[in-house]
Amino acid sequence: MPKTSRPIIILFGVVCMLFWGMSFVWSKVVFNYYSPLTTIFLRLVISGIILLVIRALWIKSTPFENKDIPMIMASAFFSPFCYFLGESYGLQEVSSTVAAVIIATIPVFSPFVAYITLKERLTTLNFLGLIVSFIGIVVMLVRKDLSMDGSLKGILLLFFAVVAALAYSVSIKRLSTKYHPLTIVAYQNVLGAVYFLPFFLLLDWKHFIHVVPNLELTYSLLALAIFASSLAFILFTIVLREIGMSRANIYSNLIPVFTAIFSFFVLSEQFTPAKLAGMIIVISGVVLAQSGKLRSS
């Protein structure tokens, strides 16, 4: 596949995290009408249909080889299935900003997972950037009395999502060198919807049919499907293919920054000086981490 220029990769990484950061806010809105299970199922169905239509009309890509089918099924199990379960149910227990901060710990664990599974190594600048950005996350998350804003249940669910995201990154890195990003995301979302279908029918169908959608619900659900479940995953797959798992996941530190901003305007969540300071530190860490070159063995 053709190489993508460095400025474009940076742009893709930032825009991807912008959409994922906003997804926490959109999800909070949809949760006023639907359960997390219904929300996930609907966004995957909408996204899968849109991407399959685009693929059929405009994208000519290689179909999955039989040997790679277990890998795409596994990637769909890790994300969207496991990841969205942890993220969405965890989001019910904590604020949007806190949820985004926990999800942004993904790059803290990425280098270790990438080294074990993909033999990726990071430079000193990469590690320094990772440490600086993680400090920024802690500044945003921890209160003055050293307590955290959120329940233990919610925090554990969100860390379950972090583990799922790391497993997903490994599987997608291997697939991204062989298949078009849109094809990968389209099939993983369709498979994800299939995984969720039995649970949706058994647990949420009766409630779902009694909800009358309004403009707020429709807009937020479409935004989740189009931007968070479609465009963001396509962009992330490209970034992952070009710069590797460790450096791609460092961009995740931007998620709580975007979430804090949009939560302030949309959900009226408190925007403290600590959050502002943390955001500045996080951005500095991402810039520092991306200034070093990746070494691969």
CA dist., res. 76 & res. 36, Å (int): 18
Average pLDDT over residues 255-262: 84
CA dist., res. 20 & res. 256, Å (int): 9
The yes-or-no verdict on residue 146 having pLDDT over 80 is no
288's CB contacts (< 8 A; 6+ apart) are 125, 128, 129, 132, 133
The yes-or-no verdict on residue 62 having pLDDT over 80 is no
Average pLDDT over residues 120-136: 78
- Exposure letters 197-232 (e unless 16+ CB within 10 A, then b): eeebeeebeeebeeeeeeeebeebbbbbbbbbbbbb
Task: Please list the residues that pair with 148 across neighbouring strands.
Answer: 142
Average pLDDT over residues 76-83: 93
The yes-or-no verdict on residue 294 having pLDDT over 60 is no
The yes-or-no verdict on residue 145 having pLDDT over 70 is no
CA dist., res. 282 & res. 271, Å (int): 16
- CA distance from start to end of the chain: 21
Average pLDDT over residues 269-286: 78
pLDDT of amino acid 33: 96
Task: Name the residue ranges covered by the structural domains of the chain.
Answer: 6-296
CA dist., res. 98 & res. 92, Å (int): 11
pLDDT of amino acid 209: 95
Residue with tokens 């179909």: 63
Average pLDDT over residues 15-35: 93
Sign, Cα dihedral of 213, 52, 79, 137: negative
pLDDT of amino acid 147: 61
The yes-or-no verdict on residue 277 having pLDDT over 80 is yes
pLDDT of amino acid 291: 67
Burial of 159 (0-12, 13-18, 19+ CB in 10 A): middle
Give per-residue pLDDT as tens, 211-228.
Answer: 999 999 999 999 999 999
Report the candidate in 224, 130, 236, 222 with the shortest Cα–Cα distance to residue 181.
Answer: 236
Average pLDDT over residues 122-131: 77
Report the candidate in 47, 75, 8, 13 with the shortest Cα–Cα distance to residue 235.
Answer: 13
* The token pair that represents 253 in the structure block: 């530190």
Confidence band (pLDDT; 50, 70, 90) for 180? confident
Overall pTM surpassing 0.85 (yes/no): no
